[in-house]
Structure 1
Amino acid sequence: MTVDTPTPATRQQLYAVLIALAGDTLLLPNLAVAEVVARDAVQPNPRLPPWLPGLLEWNGRRLPVLRFEPLNRGEAASDPRRERLVVLNSNGRHLPSGQFALVTQAYPHLVTLNRAALQPLPLRERDRPELLLARARVANQEALIPDLDMLEAEIARALTTAGV
Structure 2
Amino acid sequence: MMASEHSSHDLSALLVPLAEELLVVPSAVVVEIIRRRDLVRPLRAPAWLLGMLHWHETTIPVLCFEALNGGALSDTGHGGRIVIMSALGDGGRWRNYAVLAQGVPHLLLMTAADVHPDPQRTPGRTECMKVRVHGQDGAIPDLDAVEAALRQYGSVER
TM-score by length of 1: 0.84
Does structure 2 conserve the Cα–Cα contact (< 8 Å) formed by 1:21 and 1:104? yes
Q: How do 1:76-155 and structure 2 match up within 5 A? A: 76-122=73-119, 124-125=121-122, 127-128=124-125, 131-155=126-150
Change (3 A) 1:122 1:16: same
The residue type equivalent to 1:76 in the other structure is L
Match of 2:53 in 1: 56
Looking at structure 1, the residues matched to 123 and 12 of structure 2 have their Cα atoms a distance apart, in angstroms, of 28
> Out of 4, 13, 18, which is 2:15 matched to?
18
Using the alignment, how far apart are the partners of 1:43 and 1:124 within structure 2?
34
Cα contact 1:41–1:57 (8 A) shared by 2: no
2-structure distance, mates of 1:123, 1:156: 32
**Letter matched to residue 62 of structure 2:** V
- 5+ unaligned residues in a row in structure 1: which ranges? none
Distance in 2 between residues matched to 1:90 and 1:123, nearest whole Å: 30
> Displacement of 1:149 after TM fit?
1.8
| Inter-partner Cα distance in structure 2 for 1:69 and 1:97 | 20
Q: State the 1:123 CA deviation.
A: 7.0
Q: Percent identity, aligned pairs only?
A: 31
Q: 1:86 to 1:139 in 2, by over 3 A?
A: same
1:66 aligned partner: 63
RMSD, aligned CA? 2.1
Q: Give the aligned length.
A: 155
Q: TM-score, normalised by structure 2?
A: 0.87
User: Displacement of 1:77 after TM fit?
Assistant: 3.4
1:100-158 deviation per Cα after TM superposition (whole angstroms, max 9, x unaligned): 01111122111111121111113734722xx2221111111111111112211111102
Q: Measure the CA separation in 2 of the matches of 1:66 and 1:94.
A: 14
Contact kept in structure 1, 2:64 and 2:75, CA below 8 Å: no
Give the conservation status (yes or no) of the 8 Å contact 1:20–1:104: yes
Q: Secondary structure at the match of 1:157?
A: helix
Q: Which residue of 1 aligns with 2:28?
A: 31
